[in-house]
C-alpha cells in the first residue's frame, strides 16, 4: 500500500486532531501531497509518537464514547464478512512483499555461492558485481508498494470516506453505516428516517466498494442504480470510498420537522437540575445542528403545556435527545417535570429545530465556549460536536454557576480536560451574574493571546449573556466572532 495517508488516518496514528496537522501544513512544517501526508513526514514531525501503537486509537475511541455518554460500547470492528474482505486484500499485499523478500534472499545466496567458488581476480569481481546489479534491477522493477503493518491494520478495521463536493473526510468503524459514521464524525449529510424508507440519504458512489447492511423500503430507479446511487443508511464501506452528496451548510438547510417522541428517562443531575431524555421513533429521527432548540408540547395532568428548549445532545445520536431543566428557571414543560405531571413513557410532541446558535462554518481554529448554569445544555451539544469534528487546534470551556448546583456535570468537563490534550476547562461561581460574566470575559482575554483567532459561544441567562457579549466586544473581539443564546 502507498505510504501516503489521509489527514484523518494520520491524525489517528499520531494521536492529534486534524486541525493540528492542517496548521503544520499551512505553516510549511508538514509536507502534503493532494491533501495526503506521508509516513516519513509523520515520523519527522512526531518523532516520539508510537505510530503503530494501538493504544492511541483505543484512547481516542474511549474518549469519544465517554464524551457522548453512550450506554453501550460497541466493539470497534466491522462485521466478519467486511473484515474478512479487508484482511484478504491485506494478505495479498503481504504475500507480494514476502515474494520480493524471498527474491532478495535468493539473490544474496547465489551471489555468495559465486564469490566462494570463483577466483578472487578483477574480472571475477566485475562479473559478480554485474550479476548482483542485474538481479537488483530485475527485483526493483516489480517492487511492491510499501507495506506498513500498523497502517495496514488500521485500514483493515476502518474505511476512509471522502465526501464531494465539500471534501470532508471521515472513517467508518465497526458495523456503522456510511450515514452513522458521518454523523458521529460531525459531517452533516442529508437524511430523514435513517432506516432506508425515505431515500433522503441517497448519494452517488464515485469509487470504492460497499456492502449492504439492511434492506430498505425505498427503491432506487434503474437509472439511479446505473449512475451509482446508494442509500447511505443501509450500506457500509468495505474499502476506502468517495461519495457525492450535498451537506447542510447552516440552519437554513435543516428542514422543519414535527415528531412524536416518548419520555425515555428523567434523571436528576443535581438537587434542582433534571435531565429529560426523549426518544424518537426508529423511522423518524430528528435532524438538527448542535446548539439548536426545539419546541416541546405535552398533555399532562396539569393541562396542555409547551416550551422552547435547547438541545443538550450531539447530532451524532439523532434518536436520543437530551434537555437540561433547572427548577427555579423551568418553563411550562419543566414545571410539569419537577411536579411529576410528566412521567416515563408519556408522549411529547416535538417541533423544530430552530436557531442559529451553531458552530460557524468558517470558524477559526480555537472555539471558546462560555456557559452559565443550564446554558451548559446547548454548550454541551456544541462541545460534543466540536470533539466529533476533530478539526480544532484547541477547545476552551468556561462554566459559571450562580446556583449551588450550577456545575451539575462538572465531572464530564473534567474528563474532557483530562483526556483531550487540546481541551481546557475553567469553572467559576458567584451569585452575581454581571460580575460573573465580567470575570469570565476577563479570564478569557487574559488567557487568549490572540482573541481574533477565536470564535466565542455564550449561553445562559439573559443578564449574563448580555454582559459577557458587551465585555468581549469592548475588548475588540469582532461581532462576527461572538455567538450568543439567552435562555
pLDDT of 227 > 70? The answer is: yes
Q: What pLDDT score does 152 carry?
A: 52
Cell triple for residue 390?
476533530
Q: Which residue has the cell 468517495?
A: 242
Is the pLDDT at 37 greater than 60? The verdict is yes
> Out of 12-16, 114-118, 292-296, 401-405, which region has the weakest mean confidence (pLDDT)?
114-118
Q: What share of the chain is helix, strand, coil (3-state, %, to 5)?
A: 40, 25, 35
**Which pLDDT score, from 0 to 100, does residue 143 have?**
58
What's the pLDDT at 376?
97
Length, in residues, of the chain: 487
d(CA 47, CA 13): 12
List of long-range contacts for 105-112, beta carbons under 8 Å, 24+ apart: 107/132, 107/135, 107/136, 107/139, 110/135, 111/135
| Rounded distance between C-alpha atoms, residue 454 and residue 458, angstroms | 13
Give whichever of 56-70, 204-218, 302-316 has the largest mean pLDDT: 302-316
Percent of the chain with pLDDT over 90: 32
* Average pLDDT score over the chain: 81
For residue 481, what is the DSSP state? G
C-alpha cell at 279: 426518544
Q: Angle at the Cα of 310 (from 402 to 434), degrees rounded to 5?
A: 25
Contacts of 219 (CB under 8 A, 6+ apart): none
Stretch 18-34: mean pLDDT: 75
Q: Report how far residue 102's alpha carbon sits from residue 115's, in angstroms, rounded to the nearest whole number.
A: 20
What is the DSSP secondary-structure string of 233-259? GGEEESS-EEEE--B--SGGGSPPEEE
Residue 59 has pLDDT above 50, yes or no: no
* pLDDT of 71 strictly over 90: no
Q: Which residues are 351's β-sheet partners?
A: 258, 295
Asked if residue 11 lies in contact with residue 18, where contact means CB atoms within 8 angstroms, the answer is: yes
Beta-carbon neighbour count of residue 319 at 10 Å? 16
- pLDDT > 70: percent of the chain: 80
Question: Which residues sit opposite 366 in a β-bridge?
Answer: 454
Amino acid at each position: 500500500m502507498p505510504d501516503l495517508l489521509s489527514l484523518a488516518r494520520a491524525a489517528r496514528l499520531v494521536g492529534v486532531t486534524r486541525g493540528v496537522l492542517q496548521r503544520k501544513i499551512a505553516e510549511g512544517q508538514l509536507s502534503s501531497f493532494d491533501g495526503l501526508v506521508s509516513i516519513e513526514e509523520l515520523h519527522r514531525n512526531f518523532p516520539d509518537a508510537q505510530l503503530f501503537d494501538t493504544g492511541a486509537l483505543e484512547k481516542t475511541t474511549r474518549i469519544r464514547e465517554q464524551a457522548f455518554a453512550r450506554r453501550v460500547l460497541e466493539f470497534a470492528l466491522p462485521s466478519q464478512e467486511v473484515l474478512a474482505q479487508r484482511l484478504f486484500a491485506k494478505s495479498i499485499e503481504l504475500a507480494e512483499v514476502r515474494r520480493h523478500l524471498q527474491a532478495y534472499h535468493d539473490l544474496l545466496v547465489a551471489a555468495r555461492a559465486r564469490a566462494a567458488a570463483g577466483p578472487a581476480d578483477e574480472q571475477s569481481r566485475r562479473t559478480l558485481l554485474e550479476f548482483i546489479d542485474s538481479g537488483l534491477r530485475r527485483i526493483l522493477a516489480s517492487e511492491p508498494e510499501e507495506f506498513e503493518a500498523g497502517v495496514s491494520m488500521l485500514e483493515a478495521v476502518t474505511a476512509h470516506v471522502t465526501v464531494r463536493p465539500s471534501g470532508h473526510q471521515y472513517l467508518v468503524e465497526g458495523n456503522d453505516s456510511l450515514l452513522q459514521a458521518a454523523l458521529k464524525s460531525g459531517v452533516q449529510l442529508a437524511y430523514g428516517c435513517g432506516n432506508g424508507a425515505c431515500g433522503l440519504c441517497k448519494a452517488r458512489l464515485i469509487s470504492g466498494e460497499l456492502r449492504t447492511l439492511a434492506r430498505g423500503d425505498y427503491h432506487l430507479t434503474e437509472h439511479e442504480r446505473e449512475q451509482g446511487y446508494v442509500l447511505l443508511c443501509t450500506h457500509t464501506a468495505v474499502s476506502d470510498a468517495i461519495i457525492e452528496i450535498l451537506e447542510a451548510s447552516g440552519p437554513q438547510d435543516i428542514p422543519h420537522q414535527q415528531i412524536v417522541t416518548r419520555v425515555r428517562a428523567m434523571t436528576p443531575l443535581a438537587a434542582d437540575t433534571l435531565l429529560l431524555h426523549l426518544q424518537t421513533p426508529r423511522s423518524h429521527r430528528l435532524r438538527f445542528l448542535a446548539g439548536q432548540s426545539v419546541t416541546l408540547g405535552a398533555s399532562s395532568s396539569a393541562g396542555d403545556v409547551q416550551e422552547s428548549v435547547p438541545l443538550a445532545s450531539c447530532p451524532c445520536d439523532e434518536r436520543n435527545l437530551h434537555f437540561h431543566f433547572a427548577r427555579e428557571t423551568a418553563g411550562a414543560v419543566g414545571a410539569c417535570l419537577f411536579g411529576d405531571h410528566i412521567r416515563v413513557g408519556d408522549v411529547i410532541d416535538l417541533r423544530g429545530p430552530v436557531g442559529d446558535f451553531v458552530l460557524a462554518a468558517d470558524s477559526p481554529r480555537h472555539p471558546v465556549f462560555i456557559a452559565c448554569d443550564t446554558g451548559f445544555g446547548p454548550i454541551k451539544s456544541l462541545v460534543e460536536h466540536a470533539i466529533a469534528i476533530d478539526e480544532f487546534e484547541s477547545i476552551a470551556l468556561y462554566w459559571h454557576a450562580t446556583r449551588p448546583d450550577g456545575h451539575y456535570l462538572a465531572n464530564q468537563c473534567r474528563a474532557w480536560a483530562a483526556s483531550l490534550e487540546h481541551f481546557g476547562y475553567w469553572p467559576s461561581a458567584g451569585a452575581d451574574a454581571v460580575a460573573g460574566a465580567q470575570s469570565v470575559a476577563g479570564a478569557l482575554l487574559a488567557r487568549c493571546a490572540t482573541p481574533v483567532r477565536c470564535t466565542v459561544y455564550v449561553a445562559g441567562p439573559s443578564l449574563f449573556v448580555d454582559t459577557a457579549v458587551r465585555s468581549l466586544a469592548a475588548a475588540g473581539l469582532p461581532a462576527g466572532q461572538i455567538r450568543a443564546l439567552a435562555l
